[in-house]
Amino acid sequence: MEINNNQLLRFTTAGSVDDGKSTLIGRLLYDSKSIFEDQLEAITATSAKKGHEGVDLALFTDGLRDEREQGITIDVAYRYFTTPKRKFIIADTPGHIQYTRNMVTGASTANAALILIDARHGVIEQTKRHSFIASLLNIPHLIVCVNKMDLVDFSESRFNEIIGQFEEFSSKLLMKDVRFIPMSALRGDNVVNRSETMDWYQGGTLLNILETLHISSDINKIDARFPVQTVLRPQSQEHRDYRGYAGRVASGIYRVGDEIAVLPSGFTSIIKSINAGEQEISEAYAPMSISITLEDDIDVSRGDMIVKKNNQPEMEQEFDVMLSWLANEPAKSRAKYIVQHTSKEERAMIKEVVYKMDINSFERDNEDKSLSMNDIARVKIRTTRRLMLDSYRDNRITGSVILIDENTNETVAAGMVV
């Protein structure tokens, strides 16, 4: 199948075993004809062995042996499907123990998040938790799937009641685009095919919404940011004086002739050429991987950022982030970490825990200063040198950091610049 236009949409699904998430993903893949015959045969056989009636669609997302034996999902699993309109990447995140860590990971690159609600139970703590994380990670689009409608008689008033519950608690969150869909993943209602039973619902099916969400504006096209990954110096006969700065445009648009500044040094120059592979191009935009040459011979290396002269990020050595603690080991007081921000690394320390968020009630806790797995807190970070920062709300790439423990080399926390 050849898709011409056509964009890539990444979405994340969060939920526990009981809310029908695996069945929903299975249904999406099955009804969009993304399941291969040998996979279907294997699942049909397993379903029969387990005594299920028909094919248990949830088995499509079954993972590693350890997981099957324990009936859990260890980690984010990625799945793919394509329709004539788009290519989709699903980051399927499990809802137990390391739930925050996994959900934050899956959400960090997502255009959209699917939040599952069991129509019988309505909004529960987990719904709030997932919505909070989706909002914290600034996922542009949220699709609330009110599932198991068959178990509430496909009731329109129940559906509206749940929308009411959701809107009540989510008024405290920052969300741009929220949709609600009544569905039954088990029966296939409103997943790929329209529900005949719920003719009172006028909106699109899940697939239809995923195919038509406006995602071109998800990336910041205003503030041009280009973190330099590496310097290309072929020093060959043919390209004797070539000195190209290679990287991926984080946001904004660059054109040949633009006046730029290199940070942190602040030296200015003009873009002489832009290359995408062998091809010379006149403009580049996020998220293209390119290399840039400049008119002037100035010192640029990995970790530097090329920006427009008249639109520059903040240069800070001390800044606040919303931090999601990912590691099993809790944070040590005033311990040193390595902070990784775009292609730059600096040593850093957590200077202060300002407050911790209770992600079920959205209340702030100003007393408890500890940071352990699944915690989300506002903290002050101090680095040995200045970083070129934007707020995470404006820019997901230049507004995000990870912390690495020098003693274990593990990634222990993810931070979003406030």
Partner 1 sequence: MSKYYLNYLDELESEAIYILREVWAQFENPVILFSGGKDSILVTHLAKKAFYPSKIPFALMHVDTGHNFSETIKFRDDLVESLGVKLIIGSVQDSINKGRVSEEKGKNATRNALQITTLLDAIEENKIDCAIGGGRRDEEKARAKERFFSHRDDFGQWDPRNQRPELWNLLNGKYFEGEHFRAFPISNWTEMDVWNYIKREEIEIPSLYLAHEREVVWRNNSWIPFSEFLKLEEGEEVVTKKIRFRTLGDITITGGIESEADSLEKVALEVSTMRKTERGDRSDDKRSETAMEDRKKQGYF
Interface positions, 58-117, toward partner 1 (CB under 8 A): 62-66, 74-80, 82, 86-87, 89, 101-102, 104-105, 108-109
| Cα separation values, 404 from 194, 352, 414, Å | 47, 17, 9
Q: Tell the smallest beta-carbon distance from residue 178 to partner 1 (Å).
A: 23
Q: Cα separation of 323 and 320, whole Å?
A: 9
Q: Find the radius of gyration of the CA atoms of the chain.
A: 24
Cβ partners under 8 Å of residue 98, min gap 6: 326, 373, 374
Q: Cα separation of 392 and 418, whole Å?
A: 6
Residue 330 interacting with partner 1 (CB under 8 A): no
Site for partner 1 in 7-66 (CB under 8 A): 7-8, 36-39, 42, 62-66
Residue 393 interacting with partner 1 (CB under 8 A): no
Single out the segment in contact with partner 1 by CB under 8 A; choices: 153-161, 247-255, 346-354, 373-381. Answer: 247-255
Nearer to partner 1 (CB atom), residue 64 or residue 174:
64
Of 269, 144, 208, which Cα lies nearest the Cα of 9? 208
Binds partner 1 by CB under 8 A, chosen from 124, 173, 209, 232: 232
Site string for partner 1, 268-307 (x = CB under 8 A): -------xxxx----x-x-xxx-x----------x-----
Nearer to partner 1 (CB atom), residue 68 or residue 364:
68
Of 286, 275, 206, 205, which Cα lies nearest the Cα of 245? 275
Residue 178 interacting with partner 1 (CB under 8 A): no
Q: Tell the smallest beta-carbon distance from residue 394 to partner 1 (Å).
A: 14
Q: Cα separation of 306 and 300, whole Å?
A: 9
Q: Which 3 state secondary structure label does DSSP give 248?
A: strand
Q: Tell the smallest beta-carbon distance from residue 106 to partner 1 (Å).
A: 9
Q: Tell the smallest beta-carbon distance from residue 58 to partner 1 (Å).
A: 14
Structure tokens that stand for 149 in this block:
């409608």
Q: Side chain identity at 373, as an amino acid letter?
A: M
Site for partner 1 in 184-213 (CB under 8 A): none
Residue 236 interacting with partner 1 (CB under 8 A): yes
Structure tokens that stand for 158 in this block:
């129940």
Residue 366 interacting with partner 1 (CB under 8 A): no
Q: Cα separation of 104 and 216, whole Å?
A: 22
- Binding-site size for partner 1 (CB under 8 A) equals 79
Nearer to partner 1 (CB atom), residue 104 or residue 350:
104
Residue 165 interacting with partner 1 (CB under 8 A): no
Q: Cα separation of 304 and 54, whole Å?
A: 57
